């Protein structure tokens, strides 16, 4: 059986690691050991922050809704309770977008929920 040299595979693997670390600082973009470590941590943080992004956006929508509702003399909690009792299909994201882009339509929605 002929001898198989693994040089190309080894080089390709290192090249791919260094491609992923493009833009990193100091030795993390040049040195393989540090680059591997940086990729592992980056992946962990990326996963965590994808979850956190949902949390942050929901808080933003709630704040935007609260501001829009205060102009109409409503409290956020009372509005959400009224939404639930009317079994409305609109969620916080859509309501916040409507409140920002089309206040007249938002006012109609609020009056319909009253």
Report pTM: 0.70
pLDDT in tens, the chain (114 residues): 888 888 899 999 999 999 999 999 999 999 999 999 999 999 999 999 999 999 999 999 999 999 999 999 999 999 999 999 999 888 999 999 999 999 999 999 999 998
Count other C-beta atoms under 10 Å from residue 89's C-beta: 7
CATH code of 7-113, in short, is 1.10.1900.20
What is the rounded CA–CA span in Å between residue 114 and residue 111? 5
Dihedral angle at the C-alpha atoms of 11, 13, 18, 20, nearest 10 degrees? 160
């Amino acid at each position: 059986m002929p001898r198989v040299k693994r040089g190309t595979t080894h080089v390709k693997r290192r090249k791919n690691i260094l491609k992923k670390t493009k833009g990193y600082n100091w030795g993390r973009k040049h040195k393989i050991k540090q680059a591997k470590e940086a990729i592992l941590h980056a992946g962990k943080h990326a996963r965590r922050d994808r979850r956190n992004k949902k949390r942050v956006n929901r808080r933003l929508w709630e704040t935007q809704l609260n501001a829009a509702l205060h102009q109409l003399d409503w409290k956020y909690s009372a509005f959400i309770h009224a939404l639930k009792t009317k079994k409305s299909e609109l969620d916080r994201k859509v309501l916040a977008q409507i409140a920002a882009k089309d206040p007249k339509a938002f006012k109609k929605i609020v009056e319909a929920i009253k």
